[in-house]
Amino acid sequence: MAGRPSIADRYVRQEQFAPLGADGQATLRDASALVIGVGGLGSWMAEILTRAGVGRLRLADDDGVDWTNLARQAMYTEADADTGREKAEAAAARLAVINRDVTVDVRCLRARPDNIESLADGVDVILDGSDDWRTRFLINDLAVKMARPWVWGGVVECRGQTMTVLPGETACLRCVYDEPPAPEKERVMKAAAIGVLGPAVAMIASIQAAEAIKILAGQRQAVRRGLWQIDLWPGEWRDLAGARDTDCPCCGMRRFEHLGA
């Protein structure tokens, strides 16, 4: 019986990509990422990072799989939807058979001000797979406070946006959006209210995962600066400037209001 293929065999195509190379791949193997929310965006990001060989993933989500998830969320099956299996647990089981060399830490909970610091403890990058703006502002406060890079994204209908935040180097979320939308406005903006197209979710998640790989491989100079908006149906892409705001309450004045600090 043939022996198990080597790690070099698994990642050879990535290592042939010159900006990453063998050194970058080895760095990924020693790196860790936190994915907050493993629904539409988070499920795709977790699978991509696992296949890429990121050594440790922490998944945080308090939701169960249902049938409305299956059209746009990676990894989940009809059996998961039938039982309402916890998304983080279902994702971890799937990732274990994709790449046994990746350690997956499951947290079946929602990120909140009283637990987000422990969630982010020891990770190298945070990825936003959440579906609400208050969680994103919470992540932004935590990331700036801890000087932890993070990649945020959101999708509704066929429109998506994403931005990478390198605290101290780039604009943060509050440089671009001063406050979360009001709850009643956010409700009518969500996928549950106006729908969402699966390929748009996969596209934004792929961009987020690529940005995380750059960071984890030690290639921060390759990270995109600014906000990127995509409207997939008409095929429109907008690359928006994202200069830091020196008067930003978060990264400028270091007031972490969404952490309760």
Could you write out the DSSP letters of every residue in 28-66? HHT-EEEEE--SHHHHHHHHHHHHHT-SEEEEE---B--
- Asked whether residue 56 carries a pLDDT value surpassing 70, the answer given is yes
Instruction: State residue 61's pLDDT score.
Output: 97
Q: For residues 85 and 32, give the distance between their C-alpha atoms in angstroms, rounded to a whole number.
A: 25
Total-model pTM = 0.94
Instruction: State residue 251's pLDDT score.
Output: 95
List, in order, residues 6 or more apart from 240 with CB less than 8 Å away. 226, 227, 228, 229
* 9-259: CATH, from 3.40.50.720, 1.10.600.10, 3.50.50.60, 1.10.10.10: 3.40.50.720
Return the closest-CA partner of residue 44 out of 156, 128, 138.
Answer: 128
- Which ranges in 101-197 belong to alpha helices (H)? 116-120, 133-146, 173-176, 183-189, 191-194
- Asked whether residue 2 carries a pLDDT value surpassing 70, the answer given is no
Beta bridge mates, 126: 34, 150
Going from the C-alpha of 67 to that of each of 41, 85, 86, 140, 192, the distances in angstroms are 17, 11, 13, 31, 13
pLDDT confidence tier of residue 1, bands split at 50, 70 and 90? very low
User: Exposed, middle or buried, 110 (CB in 10 Å: 0-12/13-18/19+)?
Assistant: middle
Beta bridge mates, 104: 57
pLDDT tens digit sequence for 94-150: 999 999 999 999 999 999 999 999 999 999 999 999 988 999 999 999 999 999 999
- Asked whether residue 179 carries a pLDDT value surpassing 80, the answer given is yes
pLDDT tens digit sequence for 22-43: 999 999 999 999 999 999 999 9
The two three-digit tokens of residue 159, written as one number: 């429109």
The ranges assigned to domains in the chain are 9-259
